[in-house]
Structure 1
């Protein structure tokens, strides 16, 4: 199976139009256009009954104490965890693309609702947890929300866009399911997968 993420080249920086946060010299970060990129895939195997789309960052600090703190830098050797940015399940087997801006076009304070979206069913991304303490932003974030790594991180973050072809029409997930729920539900049902990885940083020393 082959995946194309329009505007994102393998191993290259992700354009700011797809980012939740963009570099700002005064405040380190400001909101970005936050559009989902167009995904197009082909050569799904025979027997495909649905697709899962996900995008995640495996480079997120496991301890958030120093995230975006003046005068501090997040060390490269700090253990890292997955942060899910996009979860779509039960994408119909007939689908071969998701248009740019279809699932997100701008930052939505307090989030977007999980459940049926323009294409497939939206799961909950990790901005739900990350922004929980911010009274202006706290809410349930579902569907796509793009890169916004800590501006004081000493490493460039990687973002894996993935499409998985499944042998089931539905994973049976509903409500506020997250990335771990999706991985658990699709285990044993993946016929083929494809991935494109882009990079992103808000650290001016790494840009």
Structure 2
């Protein structure tokens, strides 16, 4: 399988149009347009009956004690966790792309193409986020964040999942059903002292 994007190249900076937060000289960060980037995939394995698409940032600080605090930094070597920005599954086998800006943040699991959203990690108690929410790393983080978009070809039309499915939950449910996978990685930082070029 192969995956590509018209929105950014592999291992290149994700444009601000596809971010939740963008740099701001007065306040370090301000709200971005938060549109999802374009994704397209091909060379699909025989027997594919559906697709799943996830976006995960593996560079989120394990602890938030220094996050976005004036006069402090988040050290590059600090332990990190996975943070899911998009959890999308049961995409029909005939679909080969997701248009830029087509995956809005919603309060429910219904998604384009009769697919289903899982809950992304912007969710909090009583405030579930479904759909895509883009990059918004700490503005004082010394590490450039990587956003891994993974497209998985599955041998089932629908996964037996109910309720608020998480990225980890979807990963578990796909075990034994993945016929092929492809990744596209984008980078992003709000730290003006770092460069993603």
Same fold (TM over 0.5): yes
Counterpart of 2:13 in structure 1 is 13
Counterpart of 2:31 in structure 1 is 31
- Whether contact under 8 Å (2:4, 2:10) holds in the other structure is no
Counterpart of 2:116 in structure 1 is 121
Q: Secondary structure at the match of 1:33?
A: coil
C-alpha distance in structure 1 between counterparts of 2:145 and 2:92, whole Å: 31
C-alpha distance in structure 2 between counterparts of 1:21 and 1:13, whole Å: 14
Counterpart of 1:157 in structure 2 is 145
Q: How many residues align?
A: 194
- Give CA-to-partner distance per residue, 1:36-58, whole Å, 9 cap, x none: 11111111111001000000100
Shift of 1:112: 1.7
- Give CA-to-partner distance per residue, 1:52-77, whole Å, 9 cap, x none: 00001000001112111111100111
Alignment TM-score, normalising by the size of structure 1: 0.90
C-alpha distance in structure 2 between counterparts of 1:146 and 1:84, whole Å: 10
Q: Which runs of 5+ in 1 are unaligned?
A: 105-110, 133-137
C-alpha distance in structure 2 between counterparts of 1:145 and 1:44, whole Å: 27
Q: Which runs of 5+ in 2 are unaligned?
A: none
Q: Secondary structure at the match of 1:183?
A: helix
Alignment TM-score, normalising by the size of structure 2: 0.95
Shift of 1:98: 0.9
* RMSD, matched Cα: 1.2
